[in-house]
Amino acid sequence: MAKRIEVSGLNVYYGDFKAVEDVSMTVEPRSVTAFIGPSGCGKSTFLRTLNRMHEVIPGARVEGKVMLDQQDLYGAGIDPVAVRRVVGMVFQRPNPFPTMSIFDNVASGLKLNGVKDRKKLTEVVESSLKGANLWNEVKDRLDKPGAGLSGGQQQRLCIARAIAVEPEVILMDEPCSALDPISTLAIEDLIEKLKDRFTVVIVTHNMQQAARVSDQTAFFNLAATGKPGRLIEMAPTKQIFSNPAEKATEDYITGRFG
Amino acid sequence: MTAVAENKPAYDGKVLDLTGKSGARAFKNTLATVLIVLAFAVAMIPLLWILFTVVSKGYHLLLSADWWSQSQRGITVRRAGGGAYHAIMGTLIMALITAVIAVPIAILGAIYLVEYGKGTRAAKVVSFMIDILTGVPSIVAALFVYAVWITVFGFNRVGFAVSLSLVLLMLPVVLRSTEEMLKLVPDELREASYALGVPKWKTILKVVVPTAFGGIITGVMLGLARVMGETAPLLILVGYSKNINLNPFNGFMGALPTMINQDRTELALPNAADRVWAAALTLILLVLALNLLARLIARFSAIKSK
């Protein structure tokens, strides 16, 4: 229940525009890897290639390899739908399904994939909500709409929804940027807990957050507007924040630009 | 705290004009407000006038049970009596058949335009054709069906032929409104579903369409309201019958617009005039009832937030 991701020589294009150039990295299982970097540096784009979510945008394509343990996610005959079942995602803005109750939101991944067994669904909903530190707050109102929760609760609901399908990897695209500090803390505690079971990759603009939650940090940057984003440096988080190898990384984390 | 107070700069003594009132701007504001209220009144006057006239002249026939249960069989224009049951049923049956044919095509078409064909050549062509279809007058749609149904295939003038021509009128209305509603569904919800490993078709069926459901229903009802009052297809494609005929594939059929048209020819006769107003009021009430039904369905399925 947690796999290693090995990326080699990855280029991402939107039509003719090269958004990300030549990224190679290894994301370790049962750890948290943070992507930091200025806006437009391609970190979110790169994150979305890890579960083939970028393909939702017409004209987007990829060169290179993304290996999930032994399997190439971009190999022949690989179905993006099947990839997303093992590599889940949490988005920047909480996006619970507005037509569904809290229970149905958490169960949606299983239900929409054909699981009907009510007993199994009830078990999964309870364990997922507990796993997302939300159970105590919602256990008495599971039949109420998910959209009625606060922003932070909605985001934890989305995390519960993502872990309910038991993925190997969870990708998080700035999961706290729409939340207040208290809700952010709740999510960060949760990320700490999630890494016992999953491989977690998180994109964040908040460097303290990267320092707090991640084991490895990757710094992305782009040479200039209109140029593709590149991976500048990836190292254990402690090292990135205390003794980065690259000047650009040091400039960024000390706030000299970006 | 005292240190802060001591460091506070003194007031500079200048009073800023914050009332924001200048003569020219206030005048323009008043003028625009008056114009807008006038425009609203001008739009409302004919509506209220029509409603008042139709209700006051038509309501008394609607109070009798006969109106809702009898046909006009054997009632000449001079005589009072009979009812509109044949016409109400005719209108409802033809509208129902129209909806059964038009709604699935319109919704599937809108799903194609929004979810699959976005930006493709095929979608642009379909979209352009829908725009043209929106502008087709009802009599042209009726004549087209006449040419195909009666001239080419050699069928008779029946209620079903009317429904076919009404489909042409209802389709673009429902398709456009459904398209707008589907566009309003945020992409984040689609992505949330994809991220759970849900295939695209199931995402559309279980996430996108339910989210847009209330708006889609409203569009369907607007389309129905539009076609229920159409007269040209009735005149061309099915004869008016004063008898009850519930079979859309055989024989002439009554309908409210053609019932109005029938008695209108003898409007000088008080009994005929009464029936005209009563039939008009019945048609308005039917459309109103459908709209209320749409509101109820939309509310029942509304996006729950609390």
- The pLDDT tens digits for A129-169 are 998 889 999 999 999 998 889 989 999 999 999 999 999 99
How many pairs of residues across A and B have Cβ atoms under 8 Å apart? 93
- Please, what CATH class does the domain formed by B85-300 belong to? mainly alpha
Q: Where are the domains of chain B?
A: 85-300
Six-digit token string for B166 = 């009404």
Does A208 touch chain B if contact means CB atoms closer than 8 Å?
no
Give the span between the Cα atoms of B23 and B30, in whole angstroms: 11
Sort out which chain B residues have CB atoms less than 8 A from A95's CB and list them: 186, 188-189, 191-192
Residue B215, Cβ neighbours under 10 Å: how many? 17
Cβ of A91 and B186 within 8 Å? no
B185: nearest Cα among B211, B214, B218, B203: B211
**Nearest CB neighbour to A99, from listed B119, B199, B303:** B303
Are A227 and A233 within 8 A, CB to CB? no
Cα(A251)–Cα(B275) distance, integer angstroms? 86
Contacts of A161 in chain B (CB under 8 A): 192, 196
What does the buried/exposed string (b/e) look like for A32-57 if buried means 16 or more CB atoms within 10 Å of the residue's CB? bbbbbbeeebbbbbbbbbbbbbbbee
Which of B13, B181, B51, B202 shows the shortest CA–CA distance to A109?
B202
Supply the pLDDT for residue B19.
Answer: 75
Cα–Cα distance for residue pair A20/A170, rounded to 1 Å: 21
pLDDT tens string for chain B (306 positions)?
445 556 777 788 888 877 766 778 888 999 999 999 999 999 999 999 999 999 999 999 999 888 999 888 888 878 888 889 999 999 999 999 999 999 999 999 999 999 998 888 999 999 999 999 999 999 999 999 999 999 999 898 999 999 999 999 999 999 999 999 999 999 999 999 999 999 999 999 999 999 999 889 989 988 998 899 899 999 999 989 888 999 999 889 999 999 999 888 888 888 889 999 999 999 999 999 988 888 888 787 766 544
Contact call for B191 and A91, based on CB within 8 A: yes
How far apart are the C-alpha atoms of A101 and A73, rounded to whole Å?
Answer: 33
pLDDT 10s digits, A11-21: 999 988 999 99
- Residues with Cβ within 8 Å of B196's Cβ and at least 6 positions away in sequence, in order, are A84, A85, A88, A108, A109, A112, A113, A161, A162, A165
Confidence label for A39 from pLDDT (cuts 50, 70 and 90):
confident
What pLDDT is recorded for position B306? Answer: 43
Percent of chain A at pLDDT > 70 equals 99
Task: Give yes or no for A135 touching B (CB within 8 A).
Answer: no
Query: Residue B10 gets which letter from DSSP?
Result: P
Q: What is the pLDDT of residue A102?
A: 94
Test B193 with A165 for CB contact under 8 angstroms: no
Residue of A nearest to B185 (CA): A98
Mutate to test the interface with A, among B196, B216, B305 (most CBs of A within 10 A): B196
In this prediction the ipTM stands at: 0.89
- Is 0.80 surpassed by the pTM of this model? yes
Beta carbons of B188 and A95 less than 8 Å apart: yes
Determine the distance in angstroms separating the CA of A5 from the nearest CA of chain B, rounded to an integer.
17
Please name which of A80, A54, A40 lies closest in space to residue A220, comparing C-alpha atoms.
A40
Would you say the C-alpha torsion A91, A97, A103, A104 has a positive or negative sign? negative
